Amino acid sequence: MKISPFWLATIMAIGLVAVANNAAYAAQEKPTTPTVKAAAESSASMTAKVNLNKADAAQLQTLNGIGEAKAKAIIEYRNKNGKFTDIKQLTQVSGIGEKLLTQNADRLAI
């Protein structure tokens, strides 16, 4: 099978464009270490244990289903009733039930 000079030139031009694009992509600035570090820290905060007796509102909000209002309720409960002695006590906080406790069981500590 013969390839006409036109198609041969077209194929070669496409190849040159692909090589040039690849070189331009390779020359682009790569993400810096702080970006990678920030992603790792974010991931770690989503898997780190949260101590119910020490956590502030921001730390409590890393738990599944805990927003600003529930975090505030946990802190108020802790201030009023003293330290948690059992993770299951969390269900005594208004708005927190067994389902939420089960979703976060592996991330809770006292």
List, for residues 77-110, the tens digit of each pLDDT value: 999 999 999 999 999 999 999 999 999 999 999 9
Secondary structure of residue 61 in the 3-state scheme = coil
Q: Which two tokens stand for residue 15?
A: 């190849």
**What is the pTM assigned to this prediction?**
0.60
Q: Topology of 49-109 in CATH?
A: DNA polymerase; domain 1 (1.10.150)
Averaged pLDDT for residues 62-87: 96
Please measure the distance between the N-terminal and C-terminal CA atoms of the chain and give it in whole angstroms. 77
Read off the pLDDT band of 45 (50, 70, 90).
low
Q: Tell me how long the chain is.
A: 110
Question: By C-alpha distance, which of 60, 42, 38 is closest to 104?
Answer: 60
Please give the single-letter amino acid code of residue 93: V
| In the predicted structure, residue 36 carries a pLDDT above the cut 80 | no
If you search the block for the tokens 């809770």, which residue do you land on? 108
Show the CA angle centred on residue 86, arms to residues 80 and 92, nearest 5°: 50
